[in-house]
């Protein structure tokens, strides 16, 4: 029985190719049995749906370098001492898996082979390490775990392992029970308006934290966000598991990182023919594209069965799908239109500014998610208070004894 895994978009690290367009190819295990026997693997091109055994895939479309696409790990395969449970989503530079490490379920991110892809993963892991070290971790960003057993994130924020002749770089995150926003939109293209608002406020908070560290994302898309719904409150909870280009504001050079970004979610200023640039308003554009898509029920710039070059032309000429939510949710539709303006100066200038606009319309997210549960927070406060009281009592007794001795 075939075990099919749905994927959307990834990329080849080879930017020297004439055809700089990408297609996901993934491997399908024809026998997912846990019995130790040799598997028959095949590649499937999700653009043209051609298949080939033994990783020998060829596509006749000139913009589809299917034969260069990375292989994806499947259920039961191992990378070092980490067992793959399933692929969750595939990005241009990496793959996110549900996995198991030391009897613990985790999220595993593996960079595609290639210097730029591995460098991006290193930057991301080191950034998350620094955020956690400064105790500024938000519930909306992943919690980094040590890459190896019996180590720390300070020494090993990312790891390396050999597999099929390739040296792969990876990092580990605490497990998050959710699915890609892309998958949710595939099942339900238009969510309830308050779910849209609360989801976008949470996502804006995550990007605002990066802004506070002078970090640009530049690659926001429904593929980079995991979502689950709080069953008690019926509220979406999000995890921005991918930090995009993960570059400091002053070091951003769009020409170096354009291949890391899904074409349909690339800001027009990054495609400028002579002077490409990126600012915090670039990430507002990315947030705006997601908001726009949540409102209209489809991507602002259609990308299925289109080459990267064709999608870039749609963006540069602002040929996005029509906003059809003016009559029922005009204030939110106007915010989306402002965020996806071709002119960066017209947009809100930061994710924090956008969050403030959304809060005026939706209010704070109910039961705002936190890394620490309320019960645990309460317990910690009580313990701290008791320790303080005990310290003060001890200090008072000690001082009293000193006065007794002096007298």
Give the mean pLDDT of 340-366.
97
Distance of CA 347 to the CA centre of its chain: 23
Lowest mean pLDDT among 130-144, 191-205, 242-256, 374-388: 374-388
Question: What share of the chain in percent tops pLDDT 90?
Answer: 65
For 22-48, what is the mean pLDDT? 42
Phi first, then psi: what are they for 172, rounded to 5°? -120, 140
Mean pLDDT calculated for residue range 119-131: 96
Q: What is the pLDDT of residue 303?
A: 92
Can you give the pTM of this predicted structure?
0.79
For residue 40, is pLDDT > 80? no
Q: Which of 15-24, 73-82, 153-162, 370-379 has the highest mean pLDDT?
A: 153-162
- Bigger pLDDT: 37 vs 72: 72
pLDDT at 248 over 60: yes
Rg (CA), the chain: 24
Domain covering 25-174 in this structure, CATH number: 3.30.200.20
- The pLDDT, as a whole number, for residue 392 is 56
User: Tell me, what's the pLDDT at 120?
Assistant: 97
Average pLDDT value for the chain: 82
- Decide: residue 396, CB within 10 A, 0-12 exposed, 13-18 middle, 19+ buried: exposed
39 confidence band (pLDDT: 50, 70, 90)? very low
Residues 6+ away with beta carbon under 8 Å from 27: 41, 42, 43, 55, 71, 72, 73, 74
Report percent pLDDT > 70 for the chain. Answer: 72
* Residue-level pLDDT at 139: 86
Give residue for tokens 């693997």: 41
pLDDT of 20 higher than 70: no
Look at 106-120, 203-217, 302-316, 363-377 and tell me which has the smallest mean pLDDT.
Answer: 363-377
Average the pLDDT over each of 11-15, 70-74, 121-125, 261-265 and give the range with the smallest value: 11-15
Query: Within a 10 A sphere around the Cβ of 50, how many other Cβ atoms?
Result: 17
Mean pLDDT of 1-12: 39
DSSP lists the bridge partners of residue 89 as: 96
Is a pLDDT exceeding 70 seen at residue 274? yes
Q: Domain locations in the chain?
A: 25-174, 179-362, 373-407
Mean pLDDT of 63-74: 68
Question: What single-letter DSSP state applies at residue 260?
Answer: G
pLDDT of residue 338: 98
pLDDT band at 386 (very low <50, low <70, confident <90, very high): very low
CATH 1.10.1740.10 fits 179-362, yes or no: no
């Amino acid at each position: 029985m075939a075990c099919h895994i749905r994927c959307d978009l990834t990329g080849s690290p080879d930017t020297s190719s004439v055809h700089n367009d990408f297609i996901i190819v993934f491997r399908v295990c024809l026998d997912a049995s846990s019995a130790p026997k040799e598997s028959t693997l095949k590649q499937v091109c999700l653009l043209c749906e051609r298949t080939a055994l033994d990783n020998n895939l060829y596509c006749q479309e000139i913009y589809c370098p299917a034969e260069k696409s990375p292989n994806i790990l499947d259920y039961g395969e191992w990378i070092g001492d980490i067992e793959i449970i399933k692929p969750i989503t595939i990005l241009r530079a990496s793959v996110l898996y549900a996995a198991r490490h030391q009897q613990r379920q985790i999220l595993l991110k593996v960079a595609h082979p290639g210097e730029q892809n591995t460098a991006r993963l290193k930057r991301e892991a080191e950034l998350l390490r620094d955020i956690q070290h400064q105790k500024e971790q938000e519930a909306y960003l992943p919690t980094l775990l040590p890459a190896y057993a019996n180590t720390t994130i300070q020494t090993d924020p990312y790891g390396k392992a050999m597999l099929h002749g390739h040296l792969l770089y990876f990092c580990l995150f605490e497990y998050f029970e959710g699915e890609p926003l892309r998958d949710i939109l595939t099942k339900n293209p238009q969510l309830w308006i308050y779910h849209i608002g609360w989801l976008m406020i949470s996502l804006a908070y995550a990007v605002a934290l990066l802004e506070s560290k002078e970090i640009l994302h530049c690659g926001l898309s429904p593929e980079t966000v995991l979502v689950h719904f709080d069953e008690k409150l019926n509220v979406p909870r999000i995890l921005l598991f991918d930090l995009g280009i993960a570059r400091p504001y002053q070091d951003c050079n769009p020409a170096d990182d354009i291949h890391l970004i899904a074409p349909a979610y690339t800001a027009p200023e990054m495609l400028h023919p002579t002077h490409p640039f990126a600012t915090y308003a670039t990430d507002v554009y990315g947030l705006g594209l997601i908001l726009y898509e949540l409102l209209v029920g489809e991507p602002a710039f259609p990308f299925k069965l289109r080459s990267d070059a064709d999608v870039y032309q749609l963006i540069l000429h602002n040929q996005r799908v029509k906003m059809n939510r003016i009559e029922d949710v005009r204030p939110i539709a106007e915010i989306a239109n402002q965020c996806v303006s071709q002119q960066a100066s017209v947009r809100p200038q930061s994710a924090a500014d956008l969050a403030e606009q959304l809060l005026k319309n939706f209010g704070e997210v109910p039961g705002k998610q936190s890394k620490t549960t309320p019960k645990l927070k309460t317990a910690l406060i009580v313990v701290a208070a008791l320790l303080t009281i005990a310290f003060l009592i001890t200090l008072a007794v000690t001082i009293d004894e000193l006065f007794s001795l002096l007298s």
